[in-house]
Structure 1
């Protein structure tokens, strides 16, 4: 029986040793697996960080490039703006000169038109004063307004407007109105 006990004890001891050896191998495998997983995760994170740094550098370079281009464009636009302002000032000076000249010419033109109208009026008055009215109907004098501007009175008799007559003949609207008034006075 001692032998049986001895066998039982040896068998028990072998089972205990085997039990200790099996879990240690599994825990060693698990430790090596977790170490391997940790290393893989670290490598992946390192690669990700390298890519992120590269993208950040590219982005910073792009921002610097855009800033430089924007600065250059802004300088060019400021130069253009300065040039445009100087051109505008020059044009305003020129426009002022032209306006003064136009005003001067319009006053001269108005004076000459008024002088022409006064001369026409005086001539017509002289013609009407020198002619004594007679009871018999007279034919129109040779020097009448109608004889001076036959095309004007022809268009007026056709019912054309003063503006249409002005375009057709090439006279000013005011001159045409004056001539028509003078002709009415002559007829009266």
Structure 2
């Protein structure tokens, strides 16, 4: 323990002498170039900061405009959905009032063609959506999860559809 202290003190003195010698060997010109280098670094830094600030403002403006467009699209979608909902409510009220005013004749059979047309349109839309998601690269499991359907239903749709029908999903 007594030997450690003198060694540490000696190493400290040697390092201080080396630092003093190295400092004296530096030419005088290096000190004069140091402030100009600092000012050029400062100027470059300010230019870079201004460039980044400009780029940030442009990106912010771009994102803001995209957000506004998406918001407008969503508002239009909501308005169209409200219209569809109002139309459906009116149709429901009309059908209820029509059934109440209709005679209670059990021999009359309502035409099923309208119901079948609605069901066929819904099925076609569902099939089209399945093929669209498939073209996006989703697996059958992911497609089933997105559409709230079973994996078997998705597999059945793919197995029953020939290649020509899959191509018509874009139309």
TM-score range, shorter chain: 0.3 to 0.5
Q: TM-score, normalised by structure 1?
A: 0.41
Q: TM-score, normalised by structure 2?
A: 0.44
Q: Larger radius of gyration, structure 1 or 2?
A: 1
Higher relative contact order (CA 8 A, sep 6+): 1
